[in-house]
Amino acid sequence: MKTQKRISIRRRRRGFRVHNRVRRDRNGRARLSVFRSNKHIYAQVIDDQSGRTLVAASTTEGDGPGGNCDAAKAVGQRVAERAIEAGIKDVAFDRGKFGYHGRIASLADAAREAGLNF
């Protein structure tokens, strides 16, 4: 099997596994979902009961580069501030198909420092 195909299959399986674990163990909390592309990073707080996005932030909103750890920290800070303004303190972190390192970890650490609990 080609390397890229194998990586794609592993990412898809990891995404299903992580997403199902988060949905099972969230205990009524909203879900902080993160998506990372090559150029940008997106974060949104989702209420799975109603299927609505409560708060969102991304690197497409601001100026400057969007694909580095500093930009991910800014997005984490922004989404945490907006969630706290909306009355959301506790969330379940859904990293999706991405490993917990680099930009994903930077976003999560910044959101924790800004006051979100997960």
Query: Confidence band (pLDDT; 50, 70, 90) for 5?
Result: very high
Task: Convert the pLDDT of each residue in 78-96 to its tens digit.
Answer: 999 999 999 999 999 999 8
Q: Which H or E run contains 57?
A: strand 52-58
Task: Convert the pLDDT of each residue in 6-60 to its tens digit.
Answer: 999 998 999 888 888 887 777 889 999 999 999 999 999 999 888 899 999 999 9
Instruction: Provide the pLDDT for residue 41.
Output: 94
Task: Convert the pLDDT of each residue in 48-79 to its tens digit.
Answer: 888 899 999 999 987 767 789 999 999 999 99
Q: Is residue 118 part of a domain?
A: no
Q: Is residue 70 part of a domain?
A: yes
Q: Is residue 107 part of a domain?
A: yes
Confidence (pTM): 0.84
Q: Is residue 15 part of a domain?
A: yes
| Region 102-110 average pLDDT | 96
Domain count, the chain: 1
Which domain range does residue 93 map to? 3-113
Residue 103, pLDDT above cutoff 80: yes
Q: Which H or E run contains 116?
A: none
CB contact at 8 A, 1 and 20: no
CATH number for the domain harbouring residue 13: 3.30.420.100
Distance CA 35, CA 115 (A): 21
